[in-house]
Amino acid sequence: MKQSRMVSTMRRRQLLATMPLLIGLLAPAPLPAADGHEGVFFAEPISGRKVSSYCIELPVDQNRRKTFAIPRDCAGVLQLIDEGSFYRSSVLDRRIWQKVESDCRYHGFLNRHPMEEMEDHVTSYDFMNARLDDLPIDQRCAHDQTPEGLAACNPAATDAFGLLHHLPLGLPQGEPASSHEGSDCQLRNGVFRGRLHIDAQGIHCDAEPNTPSLRLISVDFADVNGDQVLDAVLRFIPLGPGAVRLPMTLPVTRFSDSGPFTVPDLDPPAPPQLR
């Protein structure tokens, strides 16, 4: 816990030391975060760059657009959304509102609880090269291979964060399972390419470069449920043909350095737009 606090303090100092330089050289660069997690990154609209803050102009009514700095103005943005005071006339407007909401809710999710004295068993883990076995992927659907069980299974419902929903569990029709088996079930530099099969024996993976796959785009550390145990919040994006670039969030935690990762109990539950 002490170690984790030191890490956090060091990060803050480093950032503060580089602030004048950043402000001087990169005036239009992303704004510094207003609070909490300076290490939270977003994909900046238009440029797609990795930034810790960005400015965005959003339509608030038919004839008016307003500029917001994210995450500094997230409270205002979420209030407008909750009040229904937003304007979404076009596909693009609608999608940008969604993105800003998602980013703000994610930022809020990480800042639910203050980062004070904390028990840390997650920062030492190399999530960028995580074994999928280590992650708390819900296997409830996979365990019930009966037709009734499969029919009743709703992968999205088994995972509040939608991860399973976006991971292909089955094989392509007509193909024998054996032809795909044998690869490591592991992220490599944040990327997993292949198919995932879950059965009674556990998780099996097939290496297929062109199949839908996953990229871990960020690992943030926060106490998402206020239990004074540091949690890791993993954000994945799906890759491959037909995938929609909507980040999927998977908070994980563990209570010992060698223990299994679990999904932390959330009270209150994760907000609906958090993905």
Partner 1 sequence: MQHLLLQFARHPRLWLAFLLAASVLAATQLGELRVRVAADEMLVINDPQRAYYEKVKQTFGEEKVVLLVIEDQQLLAPDKLAVLKEVVDQLAALPFVTRTESLFSVPNVKSVEGYLDKEPYLAKLPETPQEGAALLATALKNPLIRNLLVSPGGNAMAVAVVLKDGDREVDDSELTAAITRTIAPLEQAYTRVYPIGFAQVRSELATRIMDEQATLMPLAVGALLIALFLLLRQMLDILTPLVTAAVSILWTFGLMGWLGIPINVVTSTIPILLIVVGSTEDIHLLAEFRHAQRCGDAKPAALRHMARRMGRTVLLTFVTTYAGFLSVGLSGIEVLRQFGLVASTGLLFNFIVTIIFIPAALSLTGHWQLDGRSRLFEERMAKWAERYWRFIDRHRRRAFVLLTACAVLAAFGIPRIQINHNPTDSLGETSPVAQQIARLNEQFAGLESFSVVIESGIQDTFLHARYLHELVKVQNFIQAMDASLSATSFADYLALLNGAFLESENAGVPRSNDEIAELMIFLDHDRVSGYANEDYSQVRIQVRHNIATTDALRKTLGKIRAFIDENLDPGLSARITGDSTLTLSATDSMIAGQLQSVLMILTLFVLIVSFLFTDLRVGLLAALPNIFPIIILFGVMGYAGIPLNIGTTMAAAIAMGIAVDDTLHFMLRYNQELRTSKSQALAMQKTIYEEALPVVSTSVALTVGFLVFAQSDFTPVAQFGLLSALVISTALVADFVITPLAMSLLRLVTLWDLLSSRLRHQIIPRSPLFRGMRPWQIRKFVLSSTLLEFNAGDYVYRKDDDSNALYLVMKGVVEITLPRGEPESRDPIVDQFGSGQIFGDVALLANEARKTNAVALTNTTLMVLSREAIANVTFFHPFIASRLFLNLARDVSKRWVTFIGRVRTPRGDLREEDDKP
Residue type, 132: L
DSSP H or E run through 54: strand 54-61
Quick check: 26 binds partner 1 (CB under 8 A)? no
User: Looking at the chain, how many residues does it have?
Assistant: 275
Rounded Cα–Cα distance for residues 143 and 145 (Å):
6
Contact 274, 249 (CB under 8 A): yes
DSSP H or E run through 202: strand 202-206
Name which of 13 and 49 has its Cβ closer to partner 1. Answer: 49
Minimum CB separation of residue 30 from partner 1 in Å reads 12
Quick check: 99 binds partner 1 (CB under 8 A)? yes
Minimum CB separation of residue 69 from partner 1 in Å reads 17
Quick check: 67 binds partner 1 (CB under 8 A)? no
Name which of 45 and 264 has its Cβ closer to partner 1. Answer: 45
Distance of CA 272 to the CA centre of its chain: 14
Name which of 85 and 90 has its Cβ closer to partner 1. Answer: 90
DSSP string across 176-187: -GGGG--B--B-
Minimum CB separation of residue 210 from partner 1 in Å reads 7
CB atoms within 10 A of CB 161: 21
CB atoms within 10 A of CB 60: 14
Minimum CB separation of residue 235 from partner 1 in Å reads 8
| Contact pattern from residue 173 through residue 212 relative to partner 1, giving x for each residue in contact according to CB under 8 A and a dash for the rest | -----------------xx------------------x--
Quick check: 13 binds partner 1 (CB under 8 A)? no
Residue ranges that bind partner 1, judged by CB under 8 A: 41, 43, 45-50, 89-92, 94-96, 99, 190-191, 210, 215-218, 237, 239-246
